[in-house]
Amino acid sequence: APSDPDLVERARAAKAKLGDKVFVLGHHYQRDEVIEFADVTGDSFKLARDAAARPDAEYIVFCGVHFMAESADILTGDDQQVILPDLAAGCSMADMATAEQVAECWDVLTEAGVAEQVVPVSYMNSSADIKAFTGKHGGTICTSSNAKRALDWAFEQGEKVLFLPDQHLGRNTAVRDMGLSLDDCVVYNPHKPNGGLTAEELRAAKMILWRGHCSVHGRFSLESVNDVRARIPGVNVLVHPECKHEVVAAADYVGSTEYIIKALEAAPRGSKWAIGTELNLVRRLANRFAAEDKEIVFLDKTVCFCSTMNRIDLPHLVWALESLAAGKVVNRIQVDRETESFAKLALERMLALP
């Protein structure tokens, strides 16, 4: 549905009043009505890098989810305030690894005598606490666009990787890009004693995958890939690496949201694509490329929006911008100093990856 013209006008007016004081970042999964007001759009890597691009902006309004706003706070100056227009915009995957669970896991690895060989690699989609744990134990953060480089780096530092919290990105990168086998990977289940693993299994493993997943991407299935191939002859299947291994193995192309956009920009006229990622982005791309005669469909019609990404809508954005314009800071995301210093170490290792 088209946006309420009154709200559009209010967002415009508040943004104009704030001028250079505000910098609005928008993740590719955000609604069109929100993307319209973003100064920069990107995948999680680009947004982490660009958060610090405007050191003079007093307010950074982050249209994305909580862990992204935390990362922006960690990577920007103390005098810059990061605002998340709706505090309920979390991420179910990030919630699957808590600080207590990860500390317990480290104890299990220590007991098994493997902790010294383990380098933690944490996906950007994790809380600041998990990032701090990662930094403290000599590890790095990665995103879906640099996971291979992060794993290359980690295997230069140690013999094993503890990959948090997305088992699928960890497994897909290890098997697809690093030449490891499925047998080199074990899954640590935080809800079972000792993660459900024996000391022997931990000693034999190269990749210890945390049992987390994305509730949106986890729903694409091998069946959806087979169905779309039967329905649309010649279709190219392009999926995000948060999808299950069997889906990624059956796809033609795999990559981050930024990669998906670039692949479609470079695609020839008349080509057909089925995309397995969040629906706001797929719809926007389908509309954008229809004019160039590129047919773009959603990989599985039964999968829906990321509900937490969708919490940031125009009314919340207007409320945040109007509050700031009136001198009132709302929904500030602020990571405490101790957590910040270790989390920053891990994030900076990522930003320094070759």
Q: Phi and psi (nearest 5°) for 60?
A: -110, 110
Residue 353 in 3-state DSSP? coil
* Residue 277 marked in a binding site: no
Residue with smaller CB distance to ligand SF4, 112 or 248:
248
Looking at the Cβ atoms of 29 and 194, the one nearer to ligand 13P is 29
| Cα gap 99→96, rounded to integer Å | 10
Scanning residues 203 to 232, which ones bind ligand 13P (CB under 6 A)?
214
Cβ at position 64, least distance to ligand SF4 in Å: 8
Closer Cβ to ligand SF4, 64 or 190, answer by number: 64
CB of 44 to ligand 13P, least distance (A): 4
Is 144 annotated as a binding-site member?
yes
**125 belongs to an annotated ligand binding site:** yes
Residue 70 interacts with ligand 13P (CB under 6 A): yes or no: no
Task: Name which of ligand SF4, ligand 13P, none residue 215 binds, using a CB cut-off of 5 to 8 Å depending on partner kind.
Answer: ligand SF4
- With contact defined as beta carbons under 8 Å apart, do 294 and 267 qualify? yes
CB nearer to ligand 13P: pick between 44 and 172: 44
Helix/strand/coil for 36: coil
Binding to ligand SF4 in span 158-217, by CB under 6 A: 214-216
282 near ligand SF4, rule: CB under 6 A: no
**Integer Cα distance of 205 and 152 in angstroms:** 16
Q: Which positions from 97 through 126 interact with ligand SF4, judged by CB under 6 A?
A: 125
Q: Using CA atoms, how far apart are residues 119 and 142, in angstroms rounded to an integer?
A: 13
Q: Is 280 in the site for ligand 13P (CB under 6 A)?
A: no
245 is in an annotated binding site: no
The number of residues that bind ligand SF4 (CB under 6 A) is 12
Interface size with ligand 13P, residues (CB under 6 A): 12
From the list 44, 81, 146, 236, which residue makes contact with ligand 13P (rule: CB under 6 A)? 44
Instruction: Give the angle subtended at the CA of 144 by the CAs of 296 and 86, to the nearest 5°.
Output: 85
Q: Which helix (H) or strand (E) holds 60?
A: strand 59-63
- Judged by beta carbon distances under 5 to 8 A according to partner kind, the member of ligand SF4, ligand 13P, none in contact with residue 43 is ligand 13P
Alpha-carbon gap, residue 181 to 342, rounded angstroms: 32
Q: Is 214 annotated as a binding residue?
A: yes
**143 binds ligand 13P, rule: CB under 6 A:** yes
> Is residue 220 a contact partner of residue 251, using CB atoms and an 8 Å limit?
no
> Which residues, 6 or more positions from 333, have their beta carbon under 8 angstroms from its beta carbon?
62, 66, 69, 70, 72, 73, 82, 83, 84
Which residue has 């990856």 as its token pair?
Answer: 353
One-character DSSP codes across 110-172: HHTT-GGGEEEEEESSS-HHHHHHHHHTT-EEE-TTTHHHHHHHHHHH-SEEEEESBHHHHHH
80 binds ligand 13P (CB under 6 A): no
Distance, CA of 170 to CA of 73 (rounded, Å): 26
| Beta bridge pairs of residue 161 | 119, 207
Q: Site residues (CB under 6 A) for ligand 13P? A: 28, 43-45, 125, 143-145, 214, 242, 256-257
Residues that bind ligand SF4 (CB under 6 A): 65, 91-93, 125, 214-216, 278, 306, 308-309
Which residues are annotated binding-site positions? 27, 44, 91, 123-125, 144, 214, 240-242, 257, 306
